[in-house]
Structure 1
């Protein structure tokens, strides 16, 4: 062994301490590689902080105005569909926040920001309409009380669940079934407990919407 080799060997074999592996960093969004998820994540972080730390009377009023209940959808559909997706149900302590970052980062890295946003929006809008329009019809037919038109319904869970369904088609077979198994178990638990019927039915509907999007995401290169 030469003197040069002896000097270089420790540096080459020394363990890297205090450094996060690149593979782990790829699980999180960045402004350059996943701009949609990164930007949207910052918005959700800001609203979650305000929901937990802001004036609760104001927060409650904002959530009511952002609700995608049947009455608001009939009055100002575009506004409430957009506004309701700016909040995370449960605030900073909700599991939806970390799940959003992991799932949408993985999806955006594979298909780009535009198609990721499209899947999220499709799940959020279509699952909301699929659960709220029947309520409006039932109220009009006299099968539900008028109070059913006014309920608190907001959050990112429908869009997130659609992205889960879409992402499953881009993973290896084992990862696909693991992801769908977890999502399916959550949907089944929702339907069994039926704490909030609209959300309980909306989650499996959103998952199916994401599954229907899978063939579209396999075609063509990823775009931003």
Structure 2
């Protein structure tokens, strides 16, 4: 019994270790005065100012600094998402998906912001904007779930998330919202190289439901975006499902005349 419990814990070693580090860092930040906490968040931020000054360590350190409200609300949901991915894909692939999304989306957003500042589309104040947390990595892990789903559900899944993300950006979202969408796509792309996942169970489907709600709450952070995001997500999921269905029908092989002959007649003809 003890051995079986330890084996289950070992399967979630990355999730538990990362959760423990987030708990320690967040608890330590909570003991500091607001000014000191703000300085630490600024130094850990992956904004253009820090990256331009060679502070590339923020690409990793920012994943351990979370400024997103009560830890009792977001940490259990995050751990559910990460644990599901680790059960389906294994520890190494979980780390790969998370880091590709966290670092990749950060760099792509930074490139977009550099272009926006140079063209005068946005104020230079954005170069010092706070950008820390787990959301890019978490969205990439959520995107990686695409390859673990049955093929008939994949287009619905990715269509829903792309629709939700596009609606949030269109209703006044900032660069972080664009980063969420990029991270999701990066996670879905990298997961195509992961191979076959572990099988789904009822418990894992329940974890997927919790992880999906957590992802939706991360992306749709304002009440104003709730209805447009839900509507657009459902529409894009429907379009994706129909497109997938039509594609499957087109690629289905047409039966030959011989295949349409009953077996006993086929043997007689031969």
Tell me the TM-score normalized by structure 2.
Answer: 0.62
1:59 match? 37
Aligned-partner SS, 2:177? helix
Find the partner of 1:199 among 144, 157, 176.
176
Pair member with larger Rg: 2
Distance 1:150 1:56 in 2: 18
Equivalent residue number for residue 22 of structure 1: none
Other-structure match for 2:67: 89
Q: Which residue of 2 aligns with 1:210?
A: 187
Residue 61 (structure 2) pairs with residue 70 (structure 1): no
Q: Which residue of 2 aligns with 1:145?
A: 123
Query: In structure 2, do the counterparts of structure 1 residues 119 and 205 end up closer, same or farther at CA, with 3 Å as the change threshold?
Result: same
Q: 1:75 to 1:191 in 2, by over 3 A?
A: same
2:147: which partner in 1? 169
Select between 111-120 and 95-104 the one with higher mean Cα deviation: 95-104
Q: Which consecutive aligned stretches of 4+ in structure 1 deviate over 6 angstroms post-superposition?
A: none
CA–CA separation in structure 2 for the residues paired with 1:89 and 1:113: 26
Q: CA deviation at 1:162?
A: 0.4
The alpha-carbon deviation at position 205 of structure 1 amounts to 0.7
> 1:131-175: CA deviations, max 9, x gaps?
112212332344443322111111110000000010232134687
Unmatched 5+ stretches in structure 1: 1-24
Which of 93, 99, 114 does residue 115 from structure 1 map onto?
A: 93
CA-CA distance at 1:101 after TM superposition = 0.7
CA distance in 2, matches of 1:193, 1:143: 17
Contact 1:165 1:207 in 2 (8 A): yes
Distance 1:74 1:219 in 2: 40
Runs (5+) with no aligned partner, structure 2? 199-270
Structure 1 SS opposite 2:192: helix
Equivalenced residue count is 193
Cα deviation for residue 78 of structure 1 reads 2.4
Q: Does structure 2 conserve the Cα–Cα contact (< 8 Å) formed by 1:70 and 1:149? A: yes
Q: Paired residue for 1:44? A: 22
User: Alpha-carbon deviation of 1:177?
Assistant: 7.0
Instruction: Give CA-to-partner distance per residue, 1:10-40, whole Å, 9 cap, x none.
Output: xxxxxxxxxxxxxxx9xxxx64111111101
Return the alpha-carbon distance in structure 1 between the equivalents of residues 78 and 11 of structure 2.
Answer: 16
Cα pair 1:100 1:160 within 8 Å, conserved: yes
Aligned ranges 1:97-136 → 2 under 5 Å: 97-136=75-114
**How many angstroms apart in 2 are the aligned matches of 1:31 and 1:76?**
38
